Amino acid sequence: MGFSRCLVSFLMCLISSHAWGEGELSKPTVQKLDHEQLTFVYQELNSPWPSFACKHESDGPVDWKVYCKLDNNKVVEFGVHLLINRYTKTRHGLGAYEVLYWVTDRTLANVRTYDSSTIWIHNSTNDNFVNRFDLSQGIVNDMAALQLGITF
């Protein structure tokens, strides 16, 4: 699984990098993330909007296993592919981040669902001064979200 995910990540970076303006791109630097930098929260998207803190552990260089215990004591499991590339020069001429946040619902062994986002954040200067990213990916047919906080 790890190799195929890395190959898909590389291909997505290659394809998406050509879609963002004119000019040359710098070679991306992969941002290494430690366990302590990440927080995951399972947020139901219906009233009364309960949320549940999740636990996570590394499952490879850019992959994480995420476990969330819901109020009915049911534990849901997700595979998260999280890759952050930092560019010092983009086709827009300034620094940028590319964030790949892909979620696989692993709760049921024989049924897998996939939700993903690829986000480009272009800076207004050549310096990258990001302090924190807060992302939210719709899951469970958009009846919930897996919120992600990344502190740098």
pTM of the model: 0.81
pLDDT of residue 3: 54
Tally Cβ neighbours within 10 Å of residue 86.
Answer: 15
Number of domains within the chain = 1
Choice between 30 and 23, residue whose per-residue pLDDT is larger: 30
pLDDT of residue 140: 93
Residue 149: is its pLDDT beyond 60?
A: yes
Q: How far apart are CA 109 and CA 120, in angstroms?
A: 33
Matching residue, tokens 């970076």: 13
Helix (H, G, I), strand (E, B) or coil at 109: coil
| pLDDT bucket at 123, cuts 50 / 70 / 90 | confident
Choice between 22 and 94, residue whose per-residue pLDDT is larger: 94
Beta strand pairing call for 51-58 and 38-44: antiparallel
* Domain span holding position 84: 2-151
Helix (H, G, I), strand (E, B) or coil at 17: helix
